[in-house]
Structure 1
Amino acid sequence: MNAKDAPKIEVKVREKLGSRYAARARKEGLIPAVIYGHKKGPVSVVADGKELIGILQKSAHLIDIVVDGKSEHCVVKDMQWDYLGDTVIHVDFERVNLAEKVAMEVDLELVGEPKALSAAGAFLDHPLAQIEVECRADSIPEKIVLDIAELTEEKAITIADVKLPAGVTAKTDAETIVAQIKIAKEEVVEETTEEGAEPEVVGKDAKEENAE
């Protein structure tokens, strides 16, 4: 994302700190946050919840944050969620220089339908949802799109196979598997007789009847 395309949000400095005041801010529709880095002291702020969530949902990594009328380039370094895992309750922002390199987790999007999935028992295994990359702060991709249409059962796709934009390098280990096709093995269940059950003897009943 270019700096000129970075979303902008205005925040307010938090005068009162502590969990009680943070909880009160959340009830008012605000999200507590902290801005730190670049040899400046940390600043505790609050942002409009709907506006901030809207920016985060667009996978925006570089954000212009306006504090007391001054704009600062920041990246999202951490987000805290509530105990249900569906509501953001705190965000950490780090100040950045647009020309410096930063390491970020970027979403991975798989596209395409491999023909190999039509085989009996075949399924797609994709353990990674994000890739850690390093690049200039003004060149962080919103997401990495990977075409898996040619994926076969014989060869998995690893980080080394992922094509990244110019100036972007992967920090995740090159041998890490991104996607592969596996075949589910059928589980063989052996039939067993109940313990202690007497095996049936053919002709036994007939002999007993004749003996009576």
Structure 2
Amino acid sequence: MAEKAIDNTVHAEPRENFGKGFARRLRAAGKIPAVIYGHGTEPTHVALPGHQVALLIRRANAVLELDVAGAKQLTLVKDVQKDPVHQIIEHIDLLVVTRGERVQVEVPVVVVGEPAAGTVANLDSATITLDVEATHIPQNIEVNVEELEDGTRITAGDLTLTDGAKLAVDADTLVVAVAIPTDTLAAEAEIAELDAAVAADQAIEAEEAKEESDES
């Protein structure tokens, strides 16, 4: 099923007042302080509608089509600052982009499928850096680990990228490794050690029994 198009048009209000007190009042009014920068322009400070933007930026690398007092501006969400306790969005940094422009972004990696029985898929790189058009950034990159065996390694070069996307990291960068869990290996080693100890005891007992039999 094709992904439903998202309306990313956001009406932003220019702002000239700054400081923590003003920012708190903005957030209390349901708005988010933000700054727009890039392409050699002077930073522009704006207030964004809080609820709408909070929904839009759930998607990694969200692109917002801003309307700032009638002036249109395409921007890429570069940084979202949140309160560490309450997770309230405190500020957003927006990078000016143009259609067709290529950018480097961190795209989330998502593991799908189940590896072979008794193994787990360890995600070594939670994101992968891609060089991609600003308006065609994939939401994530899927890695299928279905029935993969212990010792399988998936690198950046093994990933299936969306059309037009290119790796911006070394192709040998490890992304996922399939392995037997450490605790399972430890348990197996402990069992093997116990089995060896039991076998050794049995051998000693057998030898002692033989010696007693010979003496009699």
Normalising TM by the smaller chain, what interval?
Answer: 0.7 to 0.9
Aligned pairs for 1:66-145 within 5 A: 66-84=67-85, 86-114=87-115, 116=116, 118-119=117-118, 122-145=119-142
Query: Which piece of structure 1 moves more, 124-133 or 45-54?
Result: 124-133
Structure 1 residue 88, shift from structure 2 partner? 2.1
Unaligned 5+ residue runs, structure 2?
Answer: 194-216
Aligned pairs for 1:1-212 within 5 A: 7-59=8-60, 61-84=62-85, 86-114=87-115, 116=116, 118-119=117-118, 122-183=119-180, 184=182, 185-186=185-186, 188=190
CA contact (8 A) 1:35 1:94 kept: yes
Aligned length, in residue pairs: 183
Structure 1 residue 146, shift from structure 2 partner? 2.0
Alignment partners' CA distance in 1, 2:163 and 2:76:
20
Structure 1 residue 85, shift from structure 2 partner? 7.0
DSSP-derived class of the 1:84 partner: coil
DSSP-derived class of the 2:24 partner: helix
| Higher percent of residues as helix | 2
Unaligned 5+ residue runs, structure 1?
Answer: 191-212
Query: Which piece of structure 1 moves more, 145-154 or 21-30?
Result: 145-154
Among all aligned residue pairs of Structure 1 and Structure 2, give the percentage whose two residues are the same amino acid.
Answer: 31
Q: Write the deviation string for residues 95-141 of structure 1: whole angstroms up to 9, x where unpaired.
A: 11112211111122221112x2x22xx32211322211111222211
Alignment partners' CA distance in 1, 2:99 and 2:147:
37
Runs of 4+ with >6 A deviation? none
CA contact (8 A) 2:109 2:143 kept: yes
Alignment partners' CA distance in 2, 1:66 and 1:141:
24
Name the structure, 1 or 2, with higher relative contact order (CA <8 Å, separation 6+). 1
Q: Write the deviation string for residues 164-193 of structure 1: whole angstroms up to 9, x where unpaired.
A: 112101113322221112222216499xxx
CA contact (8 A) 1:13 1:46 kept: yes
CA contact (8 A) 1:151 1:157 kept: no
Alignment partners' CA distance in 1, 2:110 and 2:137:
15
CA contact (8 A) 2:15 2:45 kept: yes
Let me know the Cα RMSD of the aligned residues: 2.2
DSSP-derived class of the 1:26 partner: helix
TM value normalised by structure 2: 0.77
DSSP-derived class of the 2:98 partner: coil
Q: Write the deviation string for residues 30-80 of structure 1: whole angstroms up to 9, x where unpaired.
A: 111100111211111111111101101134522201101111111111111
Residue 198 of structure 1 is matched in structure 2 by none
Distance 1:79 1:171, change over 3 A: same
TM value normalised by structure 1: 0.78
CA contact (8 A) 2:73 2:96 kept: yes
Q: Structure 2: which amino acid aligns with 1:133?
A: L
Alignment partners' CA distance in 1, 2:86 and 2:126:
17
